[in-house]
Amino acid sequence: MMLQQETYSKEESRYLKIGFGVAAVILLIIAIWAIDGKKVSHAENGSYYPLIARFNRTDGLLVGDVVRLAGMDVGKVVDAKLDDNFKAILTLEIKDNILVPDDSSASIVSSGLMGPKYIEIEPGGSMDMLPVGGEFSYTQDAMVVEELLDRIVSIGKANRQDKK
């Protein structure tokens, strides 16, 4: 039994080379993204200062997500870790020219019903500002849509049973 060696036409060889080239470029892009993806940088140049926000749950919020004040982007989430009581500690970097009153609150909200999550800062009325590395006294956790829908369904079921 003899093995027959396959030969490719010029067109097939060209397509094979193009396919390997595209695969190599895709692997290179993925490798660069994986190596560089751990660094969070700001789109705009300038100086930023850190603030700390502590939450019970941060469902759907990721490092690199936006921090907004009055609907305007003022920074990013640059770090997330757990404390000893299993609360999420987020480090936010805020633009230097944005001073945040020390009685402000930080809430995790989403753009629309299923949109991406971000942190919204609600400024307080204090004349004193949060210092560099300061922590928000008031925070509001992420609303989990699935839990909200479960509550609505259970209320509907309870109302249906009451009518019987």
Name the pLDDT band for 113 (thresholds 50, 70, 90): low
The pLDDT confidence band at residue 75, using thresholds 50, 70 and 90, is very high
The residue that leads in pLDDT, 147 or 156, is 156
| Residue of higher predicted confidence among 20 and 5 | 20
For the chain, what is the mean pLDDT? 84
**pLDDT surpasses 80 at 29:** yes
pLDDT tops 70 at residue 162? yes
pLDDT band at residue 161 using 50, 70 and 90 as cut-offs: confident
Q: What is the pLDDT of residues 87-96, one digit of tens each?
A: 999 999 999 8
Residue 2 pLDDT: 56
Domain boundaries, the chain: 48-145
Q: What pLDDT does residue 111 have?
A: 80
The three-state (H, E, C) secondary structure of the chain, written as one string: CCCCCCCCCHHHHHHHHHHHHHHHHHHHHHHHHHHHCCCCCCCCCCCEEEEEEEECCCCCCCCCCEEEECCEEEEEEEEEEECCCCCEEEEEEEECCCCCECCCEEEEEECCCCCCEEEEEECCCCCCECCCCCECCEEECCCCHHHHHHHHHHHHHHHHHHHC
- By C-alpha distance, which of 36, 39, 40, 18 is closest to 28? 36
When pLDDT is cut at 50, 70 and 90, the band that residue 43 belongs to is: low
Asked whether residue 153 carries a pLDDT value surpassing 90, the answer given is: no
pLDDT of 122 strictly over 90:
yes
Q: Quick check: pTM over 0.85?
A: no
Q: Compute the average pLDDT of residues 120-139.
A: 92
Distances (CA, A) of 163 to 114, 155, 156, 157, 160: 33, 13, 11, 10, 5
